[in-house]
Amino acid sequence: MKSICRSFTEEPDSLFQTVSVLVKGHDRAVLDSYEFFVTLAAKELGVTLHRVFEPPKNIERLTLLKSIHIFKKHRVQYEMRTHFRRIELSHVTGSTARVYLEYIQRNLPEGVAMEVSKTAMEKIPEHILEPMWKDQPTDKNSNSKNATLFTFCFGILDHMMK
């Protein structure tokens, strides 16, 4: 067996509460096959499937003149059907999401588009836990708005750059 080269980083893995994949195509059969592939891949990689369903299709119809000149009564109609499939995954880590989504996207069939919506969860950052005015003396609060805004901006920059 070949040894797998993996790199480890110290930064914590991001956490996604939901990852929603919407696939759009003109052919329903292609989306059916793709859904089978996506669900099987999720099961194999251990990604929890929250919901897999088919939003209603969208039909765009055009009515155009059949002839290039006159003959207004004779028209031709075209339509473009867009079928959808939504696959919602829940509780996915950043690494797993990256691996799974890259696998899914590399095997996307021709003529199919995809939209991925990720909802990342984050802790409240340190600079929002306590108000900064507790450290600074109160005389800075009272004066003109311009002065406070000026000192405030610097204060914020200090906190954000820490």
Judged by beta carbon, residue 46 or residue 56, the one nearer another protein is 46
Closest CA to 17 of 113, 157, 138, 117: 117
Determine if 55 is a binding residue for another protein (CB under 8 A).
Answer: no
Determine if 82 is a binding residue for another protein (CB under 8 A).
Answer: no
- Report, in Å, the least distance between residue 68 CB and another protein: 28
Determine if 128 is a binding residue for another protein (CB under 8 A).
Answer: yes
Judged by beta carbon, residue 74 or residue 123, the one nearer another protein is 123
Determine if 41 is a binding residue for another protein (CB under 8 A).
Answer: yes
Of 130, 137, 161, 162, the residue at the interface with another protein (CB under 8 A) is 130
Cα–Cα distance measured from residue 142 to residue 148, given in angstroms and rounded to the nearest whole number:
8
Buried b vs exposed e over 66-98: b needs ≥16 C-beta within 10 Å?
A: eeeeeeeeeeeeeeeeebbbbbbbeebeeebbe
Provide the residue type at 108 as one letter: L
Determine if 58 is a binding residue for another protein (CB under 8 A).
Answer: no
Judged by beta carbon, residue 69 or residue 131, the one nearer another protein is 131
Determine if 142 is a binding residue for another protein (CB under 8 A).
Answer: yes
Cα–Cα distance measured from residue 11 to residue 27, given in angstroms and rounded to the nearest whole number:
42
